[in-house]
Amino acid sequence: MTVVVSTGRRVAPGDVVYASGADCSEWGDVAAGEGCCTRLVAGEASVDVAEERQIIATRLGVVQWSESTVSVHRALKRRRESAHVALIANDANDTDAPSVLAKSTTVFGPGLGDTVHVRVVRVTRVFAYGEIIAVNGVWCSNSSVGVGLAGSFRGVVRLEDIRPFKPRKDKLAPPPPAAAFHAGDVIIATVLSQSDVRQYQLSTMGEHCGVVEAAVVVDRVRVKLQHMPGRRDAMRNPIDGTVHYRWCPLIYPAVA
């Protein structure tokens, strides 16, 4: 039986982070990194199980996968006053480049059910792709000023996971991702599953999920869009009043 502990899980010394049969062809592709060691465990004679090789944690920390290498990094302490994400204050006069995240400690990756901040990189007909920049209000260890970096944690939102939708006679398919997100937007989403070592399937169905920061360029000036009370499907340009389609949170978290 193969056991794999996903990125972001907390483990203690002696916990198994990866296990597989000694004769399994996949075993040679997995290596023990920092904070881990390998051991060989004899199978149980009563159930005729072959030898099992295990990678176990040697310290208290957080599991981190990097391609085929698994490591355990020490968990960093969070400071109460800096561990939360500062959301935009919707100041109509502020047209400077956005500053979404406050200085904070870092985490190594999201887990199932975590809330993440994602900077949208690309939008297609059925998917929205982005880079995960924060997990549960704390900087992600692979986040950076740039976007679309090779080593970053990636998130993907499928068309059916963007917003609730009930088919009607005049509308059988939900609105496309381009009606919800644009490249450069910062969104809040929930982790549904991990589809790859560094890629996560996300959802923005929750009332707290959606676009928290977006901007447009007007006369070569970058203007932040404002949320519209009572609407989840649009934001407003405070300068000329134009409406831009975005999928926004229904409940806005308090500014840290």
pLDDT of residue 73: 84
Model pLDDT, residue 71: 87
pLDDT at 131: 92
pLDDT given at position 41: 76
The predicted structure's pLDDT at residue 142? 56
Q: Is 107 exposed, middle or buried (0-12, 13-18, 19+ CB in 10 A)?
A: buried
pLDDT recorded at residue 66: 81
Q: What is the pLDDT of residue 35?
A: 84
pLDDT at residue 55 in the model: 87
What is the structure's pLDDT at 229? Answer: 87
**Ranges in the chain, pLDDT < 70:** 1, 22-28, 43-50, 75-108, 141-151, 252-256
Q: Decide if 188 contacts 249 (C-beta within 8 A).
A: yes
The domains found in the chain, sorted by start residue, are: 3-73 (2.40.50), 106-245 (2.40.50.140)
Cβ neighbours around 86 below 10 Å, total: 15
Contacts of 254 (CB under 8 A, 6+ apart): none
Encoded tokens for 68: 């085929």
What confidence score (pLDDT) does residue 144 get?
44
Please tell me the distance from the alpha carbon of residue 177 to that of residue 174, in angstroms, as a whole number. 9
Residue 24: enclosing H or E segment and its boundaries?
none
Instruction: Report the predicted TM-score, pTM, of the whole model to 2 decimal places.
Output: 0.57
